[in-house]
Chains A and B, each alone.
Chain A
């Protein structure tokens, strides 16, 4: 065990710091903390910043040069150094939206050469924003029972059906979508993964008002939407396998220990700055104990991530240690938000433009938004199924006989 940077990484860390020193004034002003509260606002400065990071290999590092990336070898430690240095400088990192984090790796794995050439470069530069058309009203945790249909018509598919919980559909230019192309095949074998523009005729997006008060996801209705069959990614009917490689990427994205550390430091600031009966709340032993409890958890997650990075670097495959990260990370973030609200007491219930509001109301918004993340991307209960079945080797629940 040696937690110091070796020479190559020491040099790399210096390079990242130099970049930040020279360029951080160009970064979009919003910190990740407030940024989380609403759908990614892709103002011009955000896109420019993203392009700059791509050019310097500070995001999408390992995407091949031929597709607009930096073409670096996979070095999970360097990714970690980038994340840590951006975090320390309080500068927002490269975007981690669904196109970049989910579509691009999937396309690299399953796409045709033409698809890769066409989509990857503009996606990583955020010139194309994507949404994910997976869940349906009756296909949530049981995603494979989805019914949105795609029927052949010449060289095209005609798509009909409905998606729900589609984050960012109201601002997306493209969608990657699961549709049923072989209605007679067993449910996991009749699905295809297909991509198409959101301005294709026949698509209607209806924002879903959420508990946070800001619409972040949508219902999307398809009525006779015509999409070329060439837009299928991977083989027709193999969409389940393709989608699972995407979900794997999403799960990795959701549990980020730096995000937890950021919340923890903000909670600490609240404890030090907020007072009750004229005394800082950090002097209250009950709040202090709750804080230290969560601090130990954040520390555990950060160190655990380092252990997982080391194992991945040694070529060990995804194991139990990786499977628990989404479940634990999302729960931890929600607990941190909850402590923040409790520290604020009555002030913590203020919202919108109320006087006395702290941090722009972010604590309440995140307390709700982070509950959404516990549910989204595979609910906590689905995570526990995965952990027990794939991680611990426990049997699946027997299938209920069809009536």
Chain B
């Protein structure tokens, strides 16, 4: 048994860590977020040069042919740097949707462009993953020789500026919709987290191309997305803890660093304790996709729901350790706070995901 990263995986982590520390500093994040851009094109370009967009795309289609564990390793680094680039939908869920659900023609058409980063896809599965808000629902129908979509999909991940969308209909079928298609309206939804974008899609007899081998793929991409979000939260949480520890060492009150007060130390110890086992949950969730596909949904549910809870605890506690400074914009700590908050809500809140975990084990109808 070896429950750890391989040398190759450590190399991937180190190369992303090195590049991100150079290109995704807080000033850059802040500029992107304040401009309302939700994505930094130069960061995206550099990370695509490192192979980020093609991690999960087969070598035959210009990708690296790696697995979800490598994607989780990268997601953790992106979470650490609150990097403003699309990843969970564009680099994980959409490539898996087309790689697993597309036929050969569809894979040939889409995957090479996605692998080099020239094509970016959003993913509209929120209704299936988290439940439907408002009256959101999508139905597919035949109109002549065409397949069309009607309805509304909310909270489309990585939707802003996407070249196309992977859209789930109400029966679990997956479809590709190109940006600018007739009968398609997009509404960008501003979120509290300015480092990633979400969008609403409105369909009115919008032409869509079904993924021809899409049965069962929807749940797989949701599971993969959940593991990826958990990995992102793990990275973000680890950084918040480190920032709290560093700040407590610098900040002096009553003539000594606040890090020497047990009240502060115990807050940090609790954060560290909660975070430590999260890594194993995330890695295991990612590992199951390749090695125990039947166990993926449950492992992803545990990883997502548990890391969500730990993420909220760490976001709040680390901010509190910073005192008033944590509340200011000056420290920028809030970028991590918000990232964790959004990760928690995406693709199923902890309560929703735990209910799924109960159903998966036959504990509930």
Residues of A within 8 A of B (CB): 1-6, 9, 77, 80, 271, 282-283, 285, 288-289, 291-293, 295-297, 299-301, 303-304, 306-307, 309-311, 314, 320-321, 324, 327-328, 381, 383-385, 387-389, 391-398
Contacts and interface: CB of A to CB of B under 8 A. Distances in A.
Contact of B363 (A4, A282, A314): A282
Given A309-B3, A310-B3, A394 B277 contact: no
A147 B189 CA distance: 68
A300 B3 contact: no
Chain B interface SS verdict (over half): helix
B69 A300 contact: no
B4 A391 contact: no
A389 B3 contact: no
Given A1-B69, A3-B287, A387-B273, A307 B2 contact: no
Given A288-B355, A289-B354, A388-B265, 16 more contacts: A1-B2, A77-B1, A283-B364, A288-B363, A289-B351, A289-B358, A292-B354, A293-B354, A383-B269, A384-B269, A385-B265, A385-B269, A388-B266, A392-B245, A394-B260, A395-B257
Contacts of B256: 398
B281 A303 contact: yes
A63 to B, nearest CB: 24
B165 interface: no
A371 to B, nearest CB: 18
B260 A1 contact: no
A285 B355 CA distance: 8
Contacts of B278: 300
B259 interface: yes
Interface in B275-324: 276-281, 283-284, 287, 291, 302, 305-306, 309
B342 to A, nearest CB: 21
Contacts of B253: none
22 contacts: A1-B6, A2-B1, A3-B1, A6-B1, A9-B1, A77-B1, A282-B363, A283-B364, A285-B355, A289-B354, A293-B306, A293-B354, A296-B302, A299-B281, A299-B302, A300-B280, A303-B281, A306-B280, A307-B3, A384-B269, A394-B248, A397-B261
A289 B355 contact: yes
B3 A388 contact: no
A379 B277 CA distance: 21
Would you list the 10 A-B pairs with minimal beta carbon distance, nearest first?
A: A303-B280, A384-B269, A388-B265, A304-B277, A300-B277, A387-B269, A324-B273, A306-B3, A296-B306, A292-B354
B262 interface: yes
Contacts of B309: 293
B1 A5 contact: yes
B266 A307 contact: no
Contacts of A282: 363-364
A3 B299 CA distance: 14
**Which one of B266, B270, B280, B309 has the greatest number of beta carbons of chain A within 10 Å?**
B280
A1 B283 contact: yes
B45 to A, nearest CB: 31
Contacts of A283: 364
B357 A292 contact: yes
Nearest to A386: B269
B276 A388 contact: no
Nearest to B283: A1
Contacts of A384: 262, 265-266, 269-270, 273
Contacts of B363: 271, 282, 288, 291
B5 A1 contact: yes
Contacts of B4: 1, 307, 310-311, 314
Contacts of A311: 4
A394 B259 contact: yes
Nearest to B242: A392
Contacts of A9: 1
Nearest to A271: B363
**Which one of A311, A384, A398 has the greatest number of beta carbons of chain B within 10 Å?**
A384
A304 B272 CA distance: 13
Interface residues of B, number: 47
B322 to A, nearest CB: 15
B42 to A, nearest CB: 33
Given A384-B270, A388-B268, A295 B302 contact: yes
A310 B1 contact: yes
A283 B277 CA distance: 29
A336 B273 CA distance: 18
Contacts of B6: 1
B306 A300 contact: yes
A292 B9 CA distance: 31
Contacts of A293: 305-306, 309, 354
Given A307-B283, A395-B257, A327 B273 contact: yes
Contacts of A80: 1
B325 interface: no
A108 B354 CA distance: 47
B275 to A, nearest CB: 9
Contact of A387 (B2, B272, B287): B272
Contacts of B265: 384-385, 388-389, 392, 394
A321 B280 CA distance: 11
Contacts of A391: 269, 272
Contact of B273 (A289, A328, A394): A328
Contacts of B3: 1, 3, 303, 306-307, 309-310
Contacts of B276: 304, 320-321, 324, 328
A300 B5 contact: no
Contacts of A395: 249, 257, 259-260
Given A292-B305, A397-B262, A300 B351 contact: no
A240 B276 CA distance: 29
Contact of A381 (B245, B266, B355): B266
Nearest to B281: A300
Given A1-B2, A3-B291, A392-B272, A296 B305 contact: yes
A328 B277 contact: yes
Contacts of A5: 1
B1 A306 contact: yes
Contacts of A295: 302, 357
